[in-house]
Chains A and B, each alone.
Chain A
Amino acid sequence: MNRAAARRRRSHFMVGLMGLAVVLAVLPLLLILGTLVAKGASSLNLAFFTKMPVPAGETGGGVMHAIVGTLMIVGTACLIGLPLGIGGGIYCAEYPGSKLATVTRFVSDVLNGTPSIVVGVFAWTWIVATQKHFSAFAGSVALAILMVPMVTRTTEEMIKLVPHSLREAALALGYSRWRTSLTVVVRTTLPGIVTGSLLAVARVAGETAPLLFTALGSQYLSFDLDQPMAALPLVVFTYATGPYEEWHQLAWATALVLILVVLVLSVAARLATRGKFRQNG
Chain B
Amino acid sequence: MSPSATGSDATLGGARFGDRLFKAALTLTALAVPVLLGFLVFELWAGSREAIGEFGLGFLTSSEWDPVEGRFGALPLIFGTVVSSALALLIAVPLSLGVAIFLTEFAPMRIRGPVSFLIELLAAIPSVVYGLWGIFVMIPFLRATVFPFLKDTLGFLPFFQGPIYGPGMLSAAIILAIMVMPYIMSVSREVLLAVPNTQREAALALGATRWEALTGAVLPYARSGIIGAVILGLGRALGETMAVTMVIGNRHEIAASLFAPGYTMAAAIANEFAEAVENIHLSALSYVALTLFVVTVLINAAARLLIWRVAQGGGGKSA
Contact = CB atoms under 8 A, between A and B. Distances in A.
Interface of A: 7-8, 10-11, 14-15, 17-22, 24-26, 28-29, 31-32, 35-36, 39, 83-88, 90-92, 94-95, 100-101, 103-104, 106-122, 124-126, 129, 145, 148-149, 152, 171, 174-182, 202-203, 205-209, 212-213, 216, 233, 236-237, 240-241, 248, 251-252, 255, 258-259, 262-263, 266, 270, 280-281
A50 B95 CA distance: 43
Given A177-B2, A240-B246, A83 B133 contact: no
Contacts of B120: 281
Chain A binding surface, main DSSP class: helix
B292 A18 contact: no
Nearest to B98: A21
Contacts of B117: 270
Contacts of B152: none
B154 interface: no
A87 B26 contact: yes
A202 B242 contact: no
28 contacts: A7-B209, A10-B209, A14-B211, A21-B95, A22-B103, A24-B95, A25-B95, A25-B181, A26-B118, A32-B129, A87-B30, A91-B29, A91-B30, A104-B31, A117-B292, A118-B239, A118-B292, A119-B40, A120-B273, A126-B43, A177-B19, A203-B124, A233-B242, A236-B129, A237-B246, A258-B126, A258-B128, A281-B319
Interface residues of B, number: 101
Interface stretch (B54-62, B183-191, B252-260): B183-191
Nearest to B43: A125
B22 A177 contact: yes
Given A21-B95, A206-B127, 5 more contacts: A87-B30, A107-B33, A115-B241, A115-B293, A240-B131
Given A8-B209, A22-B103, A118-B44, A108 B33 contact: yes
Nearest to A170: B3
B169 interface: no
Contacts of B129: 32, 36, 206, 236, 255, 258-259
Q: Closest 7 interchain pairs by CB?
A: A115-B239, A206-B126, A87-B29, A21-B98, A178-B22, A176-B15, A113-B300
B236 A281 contact: no
Interface stretch (B4-12, B70-78, B156-164, B219-227): B4-12
B289 A118 contact: yes
B150 interface: no
Contacts of B115: 22, 26
Given A28-B122, A117-B270, A118-B289, A11 B211 contact: yes
Contacts of B101: 18
Contacts of A262: 124-126
Given A18-B99, A240-B131, A115 B43 contact: no
B64 to A, nearest CB: 22
A148 B30 contact: no
A152 B30 CA distance: 8
Given A29-B118, A110-B300, A122-B43, A91 B246 contact: no
Interface in B119-162: 119-122, 124-133, 135-137
Contacts of A88: 26, 29-30, 32-33
B125 A259 contact: yes
A85 B32 CA distance: 9
Contacts of B119: 25-26, 29
Nearest to B234: A113
